[in-house]
Amino acid sequence: MLEGIFVDGLIFSIMVIGVLISYRILDFADLTCDGSFATGAAVATMAIVNGTGLATALLLASGAGAIAGVITATIHNRLKVPGLLAGILTMTMLYSINIRILGGRANVPLLRIETLYTRFPEIFSMLSNPWALLVGTLIIVLIVKELIDVFFRTDLGIAIGALGSNEQMIVSMGIDPKLLKVIGMALSNGLIALSGGLLAQYQGFADANLGQGMVVQGLAAIMIGEFLFDSNKISLITLRVIFGAIIYKALMFLGRYYGYYINLTPSDLKLLTGILVIISLIVAQTRNAASSADARKKALRRNKERREALDKEAGHVEN
Amino acid sequence: MLKIEQISKVFYPGTVNEKTAIEYIDLTVNDGDFITVVGSNGSGKSTLFNLISGTFPVTGGKITLNGKDVTNTPEYKRAFTIGRIFQDPTKGTAAQMSIEDNMVTALYKGMKGLKITLNASKRGYFKEELKQLSMGLEDRLKDNVGLLSGGQRQALTLLMTVLSRPQMLLLDEHTAALDPRNAQIVMDLTTQFIERYKLTSLMVTHNMQHAIDFGNRLIMMDEGRIILDLTAEEKKSLTVQKLVKMFKSIKNREYASDEDLLTT
């Protein structure tokens, strides 16, 4: 049972790293992921059903997600519309495309077919079934995390980080910000689709509605992670995202499992997620306000000291 | 180096808000020139810089950079030759990134690759470069730039701008938002870098004394035109009073000629 939460959280954490890249690193409010998550699930499922290898299926899934990201970024770049609108457009179009990918159905099962999650217990045969799933997922997540950490230490990755912080700086450095956005969005949605592809295999089906509300869930996980510790190092930022994702899934599990005591139904979980994000925003804001009030006080004190020093100097001159 | 021919800029053309910011300016900037630019608010100094660096397109005219027509070249491509520093110290650096990450981004112009170039020898180089600022930043490579003061940030911006060795520097009142002490430090660094790297520079300033003291040429702008272009020779005997007087006499002449037009 407990292992299940961790597997769920770990698969989810890859999606959250994708959301982290668009929202936090690129500063691009991207809603594509509601569509690209399901795209990843659909592509992986159909690839497996049609007998491609498991690795190929996952590669195809993230490739499809990356293309979705490129489309969003291109709409934003070419038509000069806000990222939010570009993302909504792609997401809406993806809903139709996902059903097409699934062969005109809204739901395709992966029963009696070999998936990663039937393979893991075979590979880690010394472990019990739930633990094998957990270890297998953990290895995938750690590989993804390591690759992302390395990427954001390369010159290209650092430049993408700078773009989110200050676009003018990137232009001044002779880099086309549009191209960086395309790369960043491809990476972000590629990860999101990869996560979708894993989830489809774990739960044994792909569903056209799988991505609904993913953005908000991802943001909730990011914010939970940000409460854990403060850092500007990418390896720690991705680490806290993984923790945040697992904690989020645990909270939702608690909500589902014990919620009926207070009359909560599974359909209330989206409401809870939204409230969780709002609470996180309020806490972050009060924190910010407190620290800027502190900074203001310090600045006033410094000003006063400077004033006094200047007055003293002026006094000396007059004397 | 830079040749501007008959450029003009009209904002919101065809609407009630139509405003002519630049009116048929001609300007030739020679290699090694250090030109100070003065003029009242709204005279078109910043617009001129925006047109030179390509932030927005010209309405008419032609801009040639190193003999190449760049009139329609996007800003990021012109940035290979032109380094620009803004009045706002936050515009040149990424606040949420460390000093070393900022510097590694600034090290060379153009698209970045998938290589990790930030290593011990780079850090050593950055430290050496930061020492020139004498602000103690060499010990704070891992600190976020957002933690620095305005003066420190502007000095870092200046250093980062020259790190990639541009040929030309556009300084848009880059010391105006700083307190006098930091403004002095940043100005000293500016002249040092301009001399050492032989940068062709244009500097907008509201400080008349700076405009006279620095550079080998002075231009004055008013209502979207260049109304005064003084050589180094003419600058030598210049004082703030004389400059103000010149400005007033040019303005008066214009008013007079306007009146002439109305009366005849």
0.95 surpassed by pTM? no
| pLDDT confidence of residue A3 | 84
Asked whether residue A246 falls in the same domain as residue A290, the answer is no
Fold classification of B2-263 is: Rossmann fold (3.40.50)
Report whether A156 contacts A175 (CB < 8 A): no
Nearest residue on chain B to A161, judged by CA atoms? B97
pLDDT beyond 60 at A107: yes
Q: How many domains does chain A have?
A: 2
Asked whether residue A155 falls in the same domain as residue A62, the answer is yes
Asked whether residue A250 falls in the same domain as residue A280, the answer is no
DSSP string covering B53-114: HTSS--SEEEEEETTEE-TT--HHHHTTTEEEE-SSGGGSS-TTSBHHHHHHHHSS-S---S
The B residues from 79 to 98 touching A (CB cutoff 8 Å) are: 79-80, 83-84, 86, 90-98
SS3 label, residue B127 = helix
The model's pLDDT over B161-175, given as tens digits with 9 standing for 90+, comes to: 999 999 999 999 999
The model's pLDDT over B128-144, given as tens digits with 9 standing for 90+, comes to: 999 999 898 999 999 99
Compare CB distances from A165 to B95, B106, B112 and report the shortest one's residue. Answer: B95
- Is B116 an 8 Å CB contact of chain A? yes
More confident residue, A228 or A308: A228
Nearest CA to B92 out of B31, B169, B11, B194 is that of: B169
- Give dist(CA A164, CA A153) in Å, integer: 15
More confident residue, B238 or A59: A59
| pLDDT confidence of residue A207 | 93
- Residue type at B32 in one-letter notation: G
Nearest residue on chain B to A24, judged by CA atoms? B96
**Which string of b and e fits A37-63 if b means at least 16 CB within 10 Å?**
bbbbbbbbbbbbbeeeebeebbbbbbb
- Is A230 an 8 Å CB contact of chain B? no
DSSP string covering chain A: -HHHHHHHHHHHHHHHHHHIIIIIIS-----THHHHHHHHHHHHHHHHHTT--HHHHHHHHHHHHHHHHHHHHHHHHHH---HHHHHHHHHHHHHHHHHHHTTT-SEEE-TTS--HHHHHHHHTTTS-HHHHHHHHHHHHHHHHHHHHHHHTTSHHHHHHHHHHH-HHHHHHTT--HHHHHHHHHHHHHHHHHHHHHHHHHHHTEEETTTTTTHHHHHHHHHHHHHHH-----HHHHHHHHHHHHHHHHHHHHHHHHHGGGGT--GGGHHHHHHHHHHHHHHHHHHHHHHHHHHHHHHHHHHHHHHHHHHHHHHHHHH-
Compare CB distances from B93 to A150, A156, A169 and report the shortest one's residue. Answer: A169
- Give dist(CA B257, CA B247) in Å, integer: 16
The model's pLDDT over B142-164, given as tens digits with 9 standing for 90+, comes to: 999 999 999 999 999 999 999 99
- Is A174 an 8 Å CB contact of chain B? yes
pLDDT band for position B263 (cuts 50, 70, 90): low
Asked whether residue A302 falls in the same domain as residue A249, the answer is no
Asked whether residue A122 falls in the same domain as residue A248, the answer is yes
The model's pLDDT over A212-268, given as tens digits with 9 standing for 90+, comes to: 889 999 999 999 999 898 888 899 999 999 999 999 999 999 888 888 888 888 888
pLDDT beyond 60 at A14: yes
The reply to whether residue B91 touches residue A153, judged by beta carbons under 8 angstroms, is: no
pLDDT beyond 80 at A168: yes
- Give dist(CA B132, CA B215) in Å, integer: 22
Nearest CA to A178 out of B103, B76, B73 is that of: B76
In terms of phi and psi (left: phi > 0; alpha: psi -120 to 50; beta: otherwise), the region of A204 is left
Nearest CA to A42 out of A88, A104, A91, A93 is that of: A104
The reply to whether residue A159 touches residue B102, judged by beta carbons under 8 angstroms, is: no
pLDDT band for position A50 (cuts 50, 70, 90): very high
Asked whether residue A232 falls in the same domain as residue A312, the answer is no
Report whether B26 contacts B64 (CB < 8 A): no
Nearest CA to A168 out of B97, B168, B55, B72 is that of: B55
* CATH number for the domain harbouring residue A180: 1.10.3470
The reply to whether residue A171 touches residue B93, judged by beta carbons under 8 angstroms, is: no
* φ, ψ dihedrals at B95, nearest 5°: -65, -35
Contacts of B110 in chain A (CB under 8 A): 173-175
A175 to chain B nearest CA, in Å? 5
Q: Calculate Rg over the CA atoms of chain A.
A: 23
Angle A80-A86-A89 from CA coordinates, rounded to 5°: 135
More confident residue, A64 or B113: A64
Asked whether residue A253 falls in the same domain as residue A160, the answer is yes
Asked whether residue A29 falls in the same domain as residue A125, the answer is yes
The model's pLDDT over A229-239, given as tens digits with 9 standing for 90+, comes to: 888 889 999 99
DSSP secondary-structure letter at B133?
T
- Is A267 an 8 Å CB contact of chain B? no
Asked whether residue A144 falls in the same domain as residue A13, the answer is yes
- Is A170 an 8 Å CB contact of chain B? yes
- Give dist(CA B13, CA A20) in Å, integer: 41
Considering chain A, what percentage of its residues have pLDDT values greater than 70? 98
Asked whether residue A244 falls in the same domain as residue A280, the answer is no
B46 to chain A nearest CA, in Å? 16
> Which tokens go with A284?
């972050």
Q: What's the average model confidence in pLDDT over A7-28?
A: 95
> Which tokens go with A198?
């894993």
Nearest residue on chain B to A179, judged by CA atoms? B111
The reply to whether residue A173 touches residue B105, judged by beta carbons under 8 angstroms, is: yes
- Is B245 an 8 Å CB contact of chain A? no
Compare CB distances from A162 to B76, B84, B97 and report the shortest one's residue. Answer: B97
Domain interval for residue A18: 2-264
Asked whether residue A100 falls in the same domain as residue A17, the answer is yes
| pLDDT confidence of residue A311 | 78
DSSP secondary-structure letter at B192?
H
B233 to chain A nearest CA, in Å? 34
- Give dist(CA B88, CA B194) in Å, integer: 20
- Is B228 an 8 Å CB contact of chain A? no
Angle A175-B28-B4 from CA coordinates, rounded to 5°: 55
- Is B43 an 8 Å CB contact of chain A? no
Asked whether residue A77 falls in the same domain as residue A192, the answer is yes
Compare CB distances from A155 to B74, B92, B115 and report the shortest one's residue. Answer: B115
SS3 label, residue B190 = helix
The reply to whether residue B79 touches residue A177, judged by beta carbons under 8 angstroms, is: no
